[in-house]
Structure 1
Amino acid sequence: MRSNNKFYGNSSVYLVQILILLILNTMVRTQYDVLVSIGTISTNLTFILMLIFLVKGIIDKRQFDLNLNRIYLALFLYMIVYSISYITTLQVDAFYYIQLILLFIFILESTRMNMGIMNIKLVGYIMGITVVFLFIHWIASGLSFDGFKSIFRNPNYLAVLLFCVLYFKIIAFKYSSSMEKVYIAFLIFINLILIFATNARSVLVAIGVIVVSRVVLQYYSKFFPYVFHMVIILNLLFLFIYTKIQNSHVGVYLNDLSLHFFGKPLYHDSGRSVIWEQLFQKISENPLFGYGLGTNAKDLIVTNYTAHNQFLQIIIEVGMVGFVIFIFLLYSIWKLLIKRLDSSVAVWSACFFLGILVYENFEMTLFQNNYSIAILQWMIITIGINFKNFERKID
């Protein structure tokens, strides 16, 4: 263990650079070309630095944690499946494929990183400054609660970015002094206001899942390990139920509720229900191996939209074989988080993990569709895995 601690101490400069790049990555979804270029470069640098971090660990003979074996296996199988899909379908270029493999390497290394309190607080404070600027921009823009997007292309991106930022603020709040907590509490407050201002329903649902998960852990802790299973099952059921009840009394009632509270319909002619129903038919025609890496909904059906569902997107690309490996990866991470619930960082990682999984029922942000958010989300999910031992060493 000494060699591991020495490694992380000597490599703190890599961590700081990666954490700063997390902010710059988000520029890729702004409305300005120069910022988009900066975000693209930053995202590629993030992948390269994480690869260097992994190689440095191998050179320094940093030990591989045997507790992570199932994650290693899942990622290895995932890389094989996507590599075969890339070779056999040829729908994307080599750069597209390399970026995806680098993301898998990022996930692998993020499960091994033992981030300290100061690293997480650094992210919280940097992102806090960003949120203050966004809040001032929101005020200057007229305090609108109808799809505020600031400098970004759409409000949904700003919403999920603010959602990810919220995690680091909560952790920073936990490990701060009394005076710092006042400031961070203010940052959390304006963070939530801005999320409401975006009017993004999927993020609000994800936050609701996090709150419920935290309550379940607090009062029904024995039941908490099984919440993951429930979320996965309900996510899959939701896909089918959502499409089937569209023209029923229940569907009409829910649609009216959505219009009343959010000003947006739950169903519309070109919405998810139509896309999902058509994709179900296409998936049934090639269920095992999918249609290949890079295949989108518009390649299979008449639409200008994506699948708007991470689970469906995986099945479209690599079929049920890839989907099973994906669930195995998620479950392996969940099992490790459950073992470390005596750490508040792992607790919030687990709760946000569940929230992110529910969010993926409406969007696709865990893989190549949105690398800037994917990197943030995977880091949030995995931070809690190795934080426990480091926290004890500080104590």
Structure 2
Amino acid sequence: MEYSSQNKPGTIKVVSLVLFVLYSLILIGSMNALESSLSNVGLLALGFVLLFTNIGIFFMLLNGGKIYKTQFFIIILLSILTVICIYPMLRDRDFGDVMNILQLIMCVGFLIYISFLNLDYSKIKMLNLVTVVFILVHFCLWIVSGFPRMFSSFYPNPNLVGPYMFYTSFFLIIGAKFSRIKIVYYFLLLVSFVLMLASDSRSILISVLTAIVVFVLWKLITISKFVRILFFGLLITAFLSFIFIYPHLPEYRFYIPLENWMLTHTGKSIMSGRNDIWIPLTAMVEQQPYFGYGMNTVATDLIGHDKSAHNLYLNTLMQIGYVGFSVLIIILFTIWMRLTSVKDDFFVRLSGAYMVAILVHQNFEITLFQNQLSIGMLQWLIIAIGLSRIFNNKKEGI
């Protein structure tokens, strides 16, 4: 059963236009990663999206919009998380944390704003106009470049191409489901996947596989509240275990044969240098376990390596400790429980599958509210679309 909704034609046009502009600016925001003056264009685009959506929440409420219980609970949790983030800043008198704290608040605000919108295919289909252009530009650059491996397009890092292709594919899949010209979307999905392979990003391929598995098993995962809670609990346990076990793999006997197999078949090492970062960083986390070192702290500040932590969960433990990490996980858990409360809506099912893939991806990157923010905003957008379907078809306003 698919949720249905009726809207005034004028409302559809306004919501579609707003969503189209915001999505376009998020993709333009990918230029923020460039090592040139164009990065300022990307920064301005992302800044506009965050400001517009966060201010938009207040206008929606002032105009009689209702806030949903889940949204209200997320706002309460975000307020608690903000206080936790502020504590290390006041403790250490390091006010450089302010921007990162604001960024976190506004990313969640972006999620809440999008979840207010009553979205269906008629409003989302316009986004594929931008998606098609975005993907074909990168595909043409790949062809002109001579079909290279480790394809980075015009970005400085090939690890950016894979995520952009994967997260924009969310909208192609919706097009393939509801559009009459399915063959076009299937072709574009193939192009998108080819570019993921060309980027040689293993983390994205793992995320793709995760999304497929969760989507296929959705009805089993959502069969009961106990299973939904158990699934999320096992997921977070696996992520934390990954942080503390993965760096120590070379200490085990099975590592050398496995490493040789990996090098022979993929040309890449299992470790990818993360063990040199994670082992000393986990030791530093234990020195400030409760509230961390502050939101402005990066791995370089603590261990001297000129590299990122490349893991959202470890980075969060480093910045705001186990207390802040716990509140963040509760926010994600709240969203997960709301998404998994619906079994049969295609948008919700796809959004939930991508959410798990996003959480898996964060084992290798820090994009949800730091670093490559345009990727993070695509991630929040995908999750918010699933929530919007639930909120606007359930009577749970307060």
Task: Provide the C-alpha distance between the structure 2 equivalents of 1:5 and 1:285, rounded to a whole number of angstroms.
Answer: 58
Structure 2, unaligned runs of 5 or more: none
Task: Provide the C-alpha distance between the structure 1 equivalents of 2:265 and 2:219, rounded to a whole number of angstroms.
Answer: 30
Find 1:161's aligned residue among 153, 159, 164.
164
Find 1:341's aligned residue among 343, 350, 358.
343
Deviation track 1:28-63 (CA, whole Å, cap 9, x = no partner) reads 1134x2421210110111111112311211220211
2:149 is equivalent to residue 149 of structure 1: no
Superposed displacement of residue 216, structure 1: 2.0
Find 2:384's aligned residue among 379, 382, 385.
382
Task: Provide the C-alpha distance between the structure 1 equivalents of 2:248 and 2:255, rounded to a whole number of angstroms.
Answer: 9
Match of 1:106 in 2: 110
Task: Provide the C-alpha distance between the structure 2 equivalents of 1:130 and 1:278, rounded to a whole number of angstroms.
Answer: 40
Task: Provide the C-alpha distance between the structure 2 equivalents of 1:391 and 1:131, rounded to a whole number of angstroms.
Answer: 32
Task: Provide the C-alpha distance between the structure 2 equivalents of 1:260 and 1:246, rounded to a whole number of angstroms.
Answer: 17
Q: Is contact 1:14–1:49 with CA below 8 Å preserved after alignment?
A: no
Match of 1:47 in 2: 50
% identical equivalent positions: 27
- Of stretches 70-79 and 53-62 in structure 1, the one that deviates more from structure 2 is 70-79
Match of 2:304 in 1: 302
Q: 1:86 to 1:119 in 2, by over 3 A?
A: farther
Q: 1:3 to 1:118 in 2, by over 3 A?
A: closer
Find 2:123's aligned residue among 89, 103, 119.
119
Find 2:290's aligned residue among 281, 288, 291.
288
Match of 1:184 in 2: 185
Task: Provide the C-alpha distance between the structure 1 equivalents of 2:119 and 2:265, rounded to a whole number of angstroms.
Answer: 40
Match of 1:324 in 2: 326
Q: Is contact 1:14–1:53 with CA below 8 Å preserved after alignment?
A: no
Task: Provide the C-alpha distance between the structure 2 equivalents of 1:96 and 1:224, rounded to a whole number of angstroms.
Answer: 31
Q: 1:230 to 1:106 in 2, by over 3 A?
A: same
Match of 1:361 in 2: 363
SS of 2:231's partner is: helix
Amino acid at match of 1:135: F
Amino acid at match of 2:308: T
Match of 2:354 in 1: 352
When the two structures are superposed, what TM-score results if normalisation uses the length of structure 1? 0.90
Amino acid at match of 1:341: K
Aligned counterparts, 1:244-255, within 5 A: 244-255=248-259
Structure 1, unaligned runs of 5 or more: none
Q: 1:375 to 1:200 in 2, by over 3 A?
A: same
Amino acid at match of 2:124: I
Q: 1:355 to 1:3 in 2, by over 3 A?
A: closer
Q: Is contact 2:142–2:153 with CA below 8 Å preserved after alignment?
A: yes
Aligned counterparts, 1:29-48, within 5 A: 29-31=33-35, 33-48=36-51
Q: Is contact 2:12–2:123 with CA below 8 Å preserved after alignment?
A: no
SS of 1:182's partner is: helix
Q: Is contact 2:316–2:325 with CA below 8 Å preserved after alignment?
A: yes
Amino acid at match of 1:285: Q
Q: Which runs of 4+ in 1 moved over 6 A?
A: 1-9
Amino acid at match of 2:52: L
Amino acid at match of 2:241: L
In the alignment of these two chains, the number of paired residues is 386
Amino acid at match of 2:55: I
Match of 1:75 in 2: 78
Q: Is contact 2:247–2:271 with CA below 8 Å preserved after alignment?
A: no
Q: 1:70 to 1:261 in 2, by over 3 A?
A: farther
Task: Provide the C-alpha distance between the structure 2 equivalents of 1:143 and 1:273, rounded to a whole number of angstroms.
Answer: 32
Task: Provide the C-alpha distance between the structure 2 equivalents of 1:48 and 1:108, rounded to a whole number of angstroms.
Answer: 13
Task: Provide the C-alpha distance between the structure 2 equivalents of 1:136 and 1:249, rounded to a whole number of angstroms.
Answer: 45
Task: Provide the C-alpha distance between the structure 1 equivalents of 2:8 and 2:86, rounded to a whole number of angstroms.
Answer: 32
Match of 1:212 in 2: 213
What's the C-alpha RMSD, in Å, of the aligned pairs?
2.5
Superposed displacement of residue 374, structure 1: 1.0
Amino acid at match of 1:350: G
Task: Provide the C-alpha distance between the structure 2 equivalents of 1:215 and 1:370, rounded to a whole number of angstroms.
Answer: 29
Task: Provide the C-alpha distance between the structure 2 equivalents of 1:142 and 1:224, rounded to a whole number of angstroms.
Answer: 46
